[in-house]
Amino acid sequence: CRALSKCHHQVEMATTLEEGMQRFTEGLFDVVLVEADLADGDGVDLVRQMRALDPRMVSVILTSRQDREVVSAALSGGARGLVSKPFITEELVAAVDAALAERKRTVDVRPMLGDLIQVRSELRQKVMEKERFLGHLIDAAPFAVVSTDMQGTILTFNKQAETVYGY
């Protein structure tokens, strides 16, 4: 924790699964750093529970075990980083910084998607209005208007064309 604090990260600690979950539900954390094997339970399961509450949550798992089972469980549980203990301070800081960068991308993209959906809806509305306007303009023309595609399929046919061609 001192290493992360020295790198200007705000750090809060919990010593039990229950305390960790309580702090998570009470506060906003950009990254959660969890020990894989906790004295009172499974840290990877804790990460799963936290991600169920906040799918945008980004976590890094600390572990002293080097087996595939831990790596697989951590990744399937949603961890974005895995740091082996004993760890090198720079490695831990790099994993937390990478997780913070991912969290920032995750959080920043959602408002942009909402904006894109809104703009798409507004553009669709404007296109429909222009199509209605052009349809009324063509229908009001005092002469026959017929348009076709390259295969000869009729695309536009106004009231005057109905009168002229009897269709």
Query: Tokens standing for 9?
Result: 């990260």
Q: What is the pLDDT of residues 91-142, one digit of tens each?
A: 777 777 777 777 777 655 567 677 788 889 999 999 999 999 998 999 899 9
Q: Which among 38, 2, 1 is positioned nearest to 20, based on CA atoms? A: 38
Of 13-17, 28-32, 145-149, 163-167, which has the strongest mean pLDDT? 145-149
Work out whether strand 146-148 and strand 81-84 pair parallel, antiparallel, or are unpaired.
unpaired
Q: What is the pTM of this model?
A: 0.50
> Which carries the bigger pLDDT value, residue 65 or residue 165?
165
pLDDT band at 150 (very low <50, low <70, confident <90, very high): very high
The residue type at 116 = L
